Amino acid sequence: MNLYLQWIIGCLAAYLFGSIPFGFLVAKTKGIDIRKVGSGNIGATNVFRCVGKGLGILTFCLDLAKGVAGCCLIPWLAARCFGGNADLPFRVACGFLTVAGHNWTIFLGFKGGKGIATSAGLLLGLAPAACGWAVLAWLSVFLITRYVSVASILAAITLGIVAWPLYFHEHSWFPVMLDVLALLAIWRHRGNIRRLREGTESQFKFKR
């Protein structure tokens, strides 16, 4: 019974924690509804562009920390409360629900961000080697193209590929879950993909 409670409470807590819309809250400190400016996304990139560089970086750090806490801290607390173990399947479930909470936050009518920073936090907590490869791909593509969306999509593809040689020998199901995470990130960028095809996607510009 305690195991069931651990999973129910832990997963619910992970989703609700992931649902905290940090980008929306940070922008509100400046009197801006981030949903009504720029791309309308509540993520760090839109905050960076429309509110300010400092608050954009803060949003990224908060969303990243949210991903780490969702797959590390929340499972550990739930296991401590109910006398269970924060094993890998439980941590993966909590981590995925944290990303789901960010993408479809209950606090904003189930409309959230794209989940890239939160997913990066999840990877940092669960699969740091794969996270390193994904970050390297993101930085390389971003510096060449100046498109955040292209960098994020290529980072997701990189994650889906490197997951297999890195983790299949330990847990054969784990690379499958990382591929699901990668596909979710790509799917959340379908609007960006359409704009890229139409030539209307905005490049990232560093203002002096």
- Over residues 112-146, the pLDDT tens digits come to 999 999 999 999 999 999 999 999 999 999 999 99
Is the confidence at residue 28, as pLDDT, over 60?
A: yes
Is the confidence at residue 12, as pLDDT, over 90?
A: yes
Alpha-carbon torsion, ordered 89, 163, 101, 195, to 10 deg: -160
Instruction: Look at residue 205 in the predicted model and tell me its pLDDT.
Output: 76
Distance CA 134, CA 127 (A): 11
Distance CA 207, CA 200 (A): 20
pTM for the predicted model, two decimal places? 0.94
Instruction: Look at residue 206 in the predicted model and tell me its pLDDT.
Output: 67
Is the confidence at residue 62, as pLDDT, over 60?
A: yes
Q: Where are the domains of the chain?
A: 2-198
